[in-house]
Structure 1
Amino acid sequence: MNNDIYLDGNATTCVLPAAALAAADIMGQRYGNPSSAHGTGLRAKVVLDQARQCAVRLLGVGDGRLMFNSGATEGIQTAVLSALVAVRERQARGEPVGKLLVYGATEHKAVPEALAHWNRLLGAGLTLTALPVDADGRHDLAALRTLAPDAAMVCTMAANNETGVISDLDGIAGVLAASGTGALWMVDCVQALGKLELNLAATRIDYAPFSGHKLHAPKGIGMLYVRAGAPFTPLVMGGGQETGQRSGTENMAGIAALGVVLAALERGDTFPSHAQLHGYRARLADALRAALPGTVFNNAFDKSLPTTLNFAVPGVSSRELMDVFDAARVRVSAGSACSASKAAPSYVLDAMGLPLWRSAGAIRMSFGAMVDDATIATACERIAHCGAALRAAGMIADQPSAEPDDGLRQLGTEGECSWLVLDAASRSCIVIDPLPAQTARITAIVRGHNYRVQAIVATTAHADHGALAHALGAHFDAAAPTDGYGWPALTAHRLVLGNGAEVAAIAIGSQVLAQVTAGEGARAYLLGIKDGASLPADMVRFAFTAHGDLALPALTTGQTLLCPTRDARNLLCAGPLAAVAADLQLDSSTLAAFLDSHPDAVLIDVREPYEFAATVPPALAGVATGNRAVQSVPLSRLVEHASLWLRGNTHQPLVFVCRSGNRSMKAAQCLRRLGHPGSYSLAGGLALAA
């Protein structure tokens, strides 16, 4: 049973059941070509005409054109092409025409990309200019007054896809009218369908693209409105369908489904009222505030669609929030779904002038028009569950954690990583090579667990750790004297290493961290268990260096794991190399048989603790696992556990799992390289196994 709570409605929506039935009826029964003159074709044409008539009434098309197409991107292309062909014709006749293509700074990327594409292909020679927005995300009308007299085309949106902010279309129309410009105006109405009242023929809007899959119709079907008298050039020529406006046999299944959705909107008996939608958003916002203290909303609710929330949580990245929500089967996104896979701040929030932590850490939570009270109630419960998981993991700034962290932890960022040596018993830790990007995370860990930071050390000289020291506040004695690597000048412990050298060391719980010279301007650190006043090579578990290929003869053994702070190949750690066989992956269909034949196999979930704790349902539900428990060993703690596995039974099978199979593959490859031949990854992860 699918128990997902889908809150990514601005990306796409499920298909209305009645719309799906209409599409199936077209494909199975009324499959005729609406251009055919026989009875089967005429029955299909009736469906086409009824859908169009409903759209014309609902959108207030009047004398304008309304054509069906594949969706908003095609509509945008057609509108831009139509406008620029008209501009080029005016240029050829020597008529005055604007020189600017103005688009909202928060516009969907499809718009400026289309403008640049057709401007180049048609040789129009116009200049693309972004129209700024204010702190609420609304277009700067003063800036538009300056630009409008020189504009050939203006492109704005009715409501923003990331924030839901509703544009002041009347204000924009007033500026364009007052400027006396002949600029053509396109309004992206993708997020407006069914959420804002539209009477297009009564406006100055020349072009308005729509996309069906944003409002419970299938993907691949959309509409384009063109104002009566506005220039029009078909994007697709051929058989003359859509009265020559958009050739190609019509997508009748999509049109039939969209027609059902439009009819439901017109009747007003299917979807929640606007008052209900506002109530749903308020409940979600209250749940977020309670579960995630410090939550900041990036959209003003009184100026945005009631179906959209955009928020950030101090000290928690958008990736971490996405992961914990996904574990709880609450589907949200980071910004636009078209760019969510790219690790970059939101250009929409950047344009609004929001600080980097808010634009880089933003989460969009949006719901479709089919949402109901039960869905919102369950969503609020799972949000609370996610908040509890994050607090328990010490992820929420200044929120104490119930579970103190212990051992070695790795925090990676794009080929580099920081290392934390943590001791829960003494509530102390040592930070090695902290990255600036990890300052907030390290601070949250230290404060959440109430640790005392004994030292912040570096593998290279003169590293600047001032920002972290300041952020740690009373948890670190920044005034204590240190050398050029951050090593405390008044170290109490001295140890003799395996090569006979006497060095300074810091005790942390039952272990010691010793410093050694690793070349000119470089230092390495050895972590192990001392034997009296010495640290023998076979007791050194980890060696921290700038790079994982630094040999430390006589100081370490083949069982010592080399922990780099520069990890360009994402190896996690290094050690004695072994061949990595090709049979690394198991899929959900073969996992049960593998576990039956390997009763000693261990299942290991390498997601972070907050993901593991937030998982709904339990990991690997529905997959035969022989009732064995799944251990939580997050990838950030893998090196600590790898040291133990490599010193134990290296033939015991280890099956790693994660959400998608990416992190588990890294874990399995790492263990194989280190000499553990029985390491495997679950292909496709929990996403395909559930």
Structure 2
Amino acid sequence: MSQTTSLSQIYLDANATTPVLPQAAKAAMSAMEELFGNPSSSHITGLKAKNLMEQTRNHAKQLLGANQGKIIFTSGATEGIQTAILSALVNAKASLNPNKTYTLLYGATEHKAVPNSLAHWNQLLGINAELKAIPVDGSGNLDHDFIAQEAANALMICTMAVNNETGVYQDLAALDRLIRQHNPDLFWMVDCVQALGKRALNLAETSIDYAPFSGHKLYAPKGIGFMYIRESAPFTPFIAGGGQEGGLRSGTENLPGMAALNVVFEMLLNQDDSAFFPVSTLLDYRVQLAQALQRAFPTIVFNHSFSNSVPTTLNFAVPGFSSKEIMDLFDAANIRVSSGSACSSKVTGSFVLDAMGLPTWQSESAIRLSFGPAMTQAEVDQACERIQSAANALGNSCLSLNVDAGAQNKTPLNGLVQLKSGSSCTWIYADHKSQQALIIDPLPELEQRIDTLLQCQQLTPIAFIDTHGHADHVSGRVALAERYLPQQATDYLGWPAVHALTDIGSRPVQAVKVGELTLIKVATPGHTKDSISLLLVNPQGTVLYAFCGDMILMGSLGRTNFDSSCAKQMFHSLKLLHGLIGDHTLLCPSHDYNNEFTTSFGAEFTRNALLNETINGVMPIGLFEQQKVQLDTHLNDEMGTEIICGAYTGSCDKAVIKEYDAISLKQQFQQTQTIKLLDIREPHEYALQHELGELSEHSINIPMTRLVQFIQQHQHDKQDEWVLVCRSGSRSMVAAQAMHRLGFSNIAHLKGGYALSR
């Protein structure tokens, strides 16, 4: 077992949830074993339970400075948000002026539970107010001028004390003055979930009407929360029933949860006997962690200012790396972080960072590192060490030029690499023997990563080539070519002016050499008038890969409704390309909207009727043009803010993939030795944490960035049983789907990945 995997995890995702403090867990267990009575019962067992409940309530009031208000216990913050919004809107509805237009205001960086709940109750109660997001500036501060303009017509305003993704806090005293100056009667809810233990709260001195809290964000169990209600604020029970909580919230009380909360409250109130550290210590922790991140990733960008955010949250991005890549890297080093709000982990970008006006790459690459006030110095020290070890692994994988790592253990790069930024692809072919490299469709977001790879592997690029003029981004080709090939004369797509001529399909074509292979340029206009395809051919004359730009995409054809497009030309280009490469050569496009990696004419024929009829049927050119117009029209509904370069239909033909768990895979492997395990983690993950138990010695590591080459090299092994493995099972399922579509009929994957295999 490696040193990294033998260590316990360093949990740095406290804004999502926290472990239960041992003292809190003990109190909860004691409540279940001894104080199990119903607080509504009048016998001694019930009275003891009620005493615990009221003790917890009083501690909450002391902690929040809320002696003049009410505290009720809930299942968590979401219930508190519902209760606050329902209470405010039911009261507001009674006095609506039918001739007046109303609004509901919420911060643009609020947790999605807030705007979604506002929309829900606004519709259900028939209020039909307009929901308006309060803009924020680049530091995450709410726009006070906007609030001043909108407050008079607003029924309710919802803000956050501390943002869950960035840790940015709002000046509640200034907001209080602003809101009451422009609308003394406006109902005000403040989400305080991330503030407890990190910011001082004195709610009775404010005009805040409602403030929800959640126990599991501060070392109590899940399923217990509480909320503050101002004495004069209206209230409508969200849960009606037996009248518990003084009729404000029915349902038998969660005594174990309250017992745990009580311990947390007592520790916050008594710093002398507490697991929690003061803010000054937490600030020092942030300095140490930030410095460790900067040493490990010199180009790191922090997505928020430390001057207006709590010390327990660091939100950052590393140029050239997606949030998923950094998350997987940290996870392999046994560091748990997240890519923003855990409730929206499927979203590729951060709406919070988008609202702050940060560049798209920062939003899509954002990592949230968060810790709680019970974090210890020893844990900080371990976290800093592992952050460095993770960076060293990147250096050894030639993904960063890490000074400490020195890339002394690097694996030589030989063959095809697929890099992605969002849905866009850059392709790199490296020949280790000649130490030459070819870069096709270089993306500006990946410029530094390409540069690092070339330097670390000591590769000499022979060309940086675009397959067409890209409408959706500026190419990274020019900057890279100026750095590496300043004297090379090229055309405007980067094709070298000095090149050879060769024959393919009885026609002379331009060609350049990369190692023993030949790259052939073929004009294939249609998507744009300057579109080309690049064919990589081995010495035997076999086309290994066809870099086709946006002419053929997975599940679609490139759009032909640009000013420089021509469907008629695409018709002829499709026939030409197929005649040169046939059904089975892998097509490597410049976009991959469905995470399918690669395709071929043969694979596309089964789901692309227009392409099939064009190549194999009797499709007149006029009919092709008509159908292509209809296909491109679909893009009008799909584009949004992104320029989609292909007639993407949103369907990627999901196949039913065979799944193993750790036990069944081990049993199957004992029965037959023909199973081939394919570990598709990246080299830095594999190096940090490579065990697969007893099956480890039988697996081979082929990272997803090299999957296309693996598919090409194993065209004759499609009947073998391949079992794909990754960290969590998500990537292995995606890769298995792609391989199945390309004819690997006996493909399977390990459900839950290696995370659940030990």
Indicate if the aligned counterparts of 2:464 and 2:480 stay in contact, CA closer than 8 A.
Answer: no
Q: What SS does the aligned partner of 2:175 have?
A: helix
Give the structure 1 partner of residue 691 of structure 2: 619
Q: Distance in 2 between matches of 1:184 and 1:676?
A: 60
Q: Distance in 2 between matches of 1:488 and 1:437?
A: 24
Structure 2 residue corresponding to 1:136, chosen from 131, 134, 139? 139
Structure 1 residue corresponding to 2:501, chosen from 494, 505, 508? 494
Structure 1 residue corresponding to 2:476, chosen from 446, 468, 486? 468
Give the structure 2 partner of residue 196 of structure 1: 199
Matches within 5 A, 1:24-423: 24-91=29-96, 99-179=102-182, 181-268=184-271, 269-270=273-274, 271-344=276-349, 346-396=350-400, 403=410, 405-412=413-420, 417-423=425-431
Unmatched 5+ residue regions in structure 1?
none
Structure 2 residue corresponding to 1:588, chosen from 652, 662, 665? 662
Give the structure 1 partner of residue 18 of structure 2: 13
**Is 1:644 matched up with 2:713?**
yes
Indicate if the aligned counterparts of 1:156 and 1:187 stay in contact, CA closer than 8 A.
Answer: yes
**Is 1:512 matched up with 2:512?**
no
Shift of 1:379: 0.8
Q: Distance in 1 between matches of 2:479 and 2:401?
A: 11
Q: Distance in 2 between matches of 1:583 and 1:335?
A: 30
Indicate if the aligned counterparts of 1:439 and 1:467 stay in contact, CA closer than 8 A.
Answer: no
Amino acid at match of 2:139: D
Q: Distance in 2 between matches of 1:414 and 1:347?
A: 16
Amino acid at match of 2:502: L
Residue 267 to residue 97, structure 1, CA distance change in 2 (3 Å): farther
Q: What SS does the aligned partner of 2:345 have?
A: coil
Q: What SS does the aligned partner of 1:628 have?
A: helix
Matches within 5 A, 1:419-498: 419-434=427-442, 441-446=449-454, 449=457, 451-459=459-467, 467-477=475-485, 482=490, 486-491=494-499, 493-497=500-504
Residue 464 to residue 27, structure 1, CA distance change in 2 (3 Å): closer
Indicate if the aligned counterparts of 1:517 and 1:523 stay in contact, CA closer than 8 A.
Answer: yes
**Is 1:572 matched up with 2:581?**
no
Q: Which moved more, 1:313-322 or 1:128-137?
A: 128-137
| TM-score (structure 2 length as normaliser) | 0.80
Q: Distance in 1 between matches of 2:589 and 2:663?
A: 37
Deviations 1:347-400 (A, max 9, x none): 222333333332222211101222212211111111001112223334348988
Residue 313 to residue 564, structure 1, CA distance change in 2 (3 Å): closer
Indicate if the aligned counterparts of 2:87 and 2:237 stay in contact, CA closer than 8 A.
Answer: yes
Deviations 1:387-437 (A, max 9, x none): 122233343489886645331112346666432212244443223345666
Give the structure 2 partner of residue 685 of structure 1: 753
Q: Distance in 2 between matches of 1:365 and 1:71?
A: 23
| TM-score (structure 1 length as normaliser) | 0.88
Residue 519 to residue 101, structure 1, CA distance change in 2 (3 Å): closer
Indicate if the aligned counterparts of 2:659 and 2:750 stay in contact, CA closer than 8 A.
Answer: yes
Aligned length: 673
Q: Which moved more, 1:472-481 or 1:232-241?
A: 472-481
Deviations 1:15-48 (A, max 9, x none): 1122222222333443222222233333322222
Unmatched 5+ residue regions in structure 2?
1-5, 555-573, 607-653
Shift of 1:292: 0.4
Residue 380 to residue 227, structure 1, CA distance change in 2 (3 Å): same
Q: Which moved more, 1:540-549 or 1:241-250?
A: 540-549
Amino acid at match of 1:189: C
Q: Distance in 1 between matches of 2:261 and 2:718?
A: 58
Residue 396 to residue 503, structure 1, CA distance change in 2 (3 Å): same
Residue 315 to residue 677, structure 1, CA distance change in 2 (3 Å): closer
Amino acid at match of 2:51: V
Q: What SS does the aligned partner of 2:286 have?
A: helix
Q: What SS does the aligned partner of 1:12 have?
A: coil
Indicate if the aligned counterparts of 1:420 and 1:429 stay in contact, CA closer than 8 A.
Answer: yes
Deviations 1:282-339 (A, max 9, x none): 1111100100002222222232212111112222222221121122121111121111
Indicate if the aligned counterparts of 1:450 and 1:475 stay in contact, CA closer than 8 A.
Answer: no
Q: What SS does the aligned partner of 2:342 have?
A: coil
Indicate if the aligned counterparts of 1:211 and 1:221 stay in contact, CA closer than 8 A.
Answer: yes
Amino acid at match of 1:386: A
Give the structure 2 partner of residue 632 of structure 1: 701
Deviations 1:617-647 (A, max 9, x none): x332xx222x626432111112223333345
Shift of 1:109: 1.8
Q: What SS does the aligned partner of 1:419 have?
A: strand
Q: Distance in 2 between matches of 1:614 and 1:424?
A: 25
Residue 239 to residue 479, structure 1, CA distance change in 2 (3 Å): farther
Shift of 1:529: 2.4
Q: What SS does the aligned partner of 2:416 have?
A: strand
Q: Which moved more, 1:18-27 or 1:317-326?
A: 18-27
Q: What SS does the aligned partner of 2:399 have?
A: coil
Q: What SS does the aligned partner of 1:660 have?
A: coil
Q: Distance in 2 between matches of 1:436 and 1:558?
A: 32
Q: Distance in 2 between matches of 1:180 and 1:548?
A: 55
Q: Distance in 2 between matches of 1:386 and 1:158?
A: 33
Q: Distance in 1 between matches of 2:421 and 2:138?
A: 30
Amino acid at match of 2:356: M
Amino acid at match of 1:686: Y
Residue 113 to residue 666, structure 1, CA distance change in 2 (3 Å): closer
CA RMSD of superposed structures (Å): 3.4
Q: Distance in 2 between matches of 1:259 and 1:104?
A: 31
Shift of 1:604: 3.0
Shift of 1:131: 2.5
What is the percentage of aligned positions where both structures have the same residue? 45
Amino acid at match of 1:220: G
Q: Distance in 1 between matches of 2:536 and 2:424?
A: 20
Shift of 1:516: 4.0
Q: What SS does the aligned partner of 2:665 have?
A: helix
Amino acid at match of 2:704: L
Residue 675 to residue 84, structure 1, CA distance change in 2 (3 Å): closer
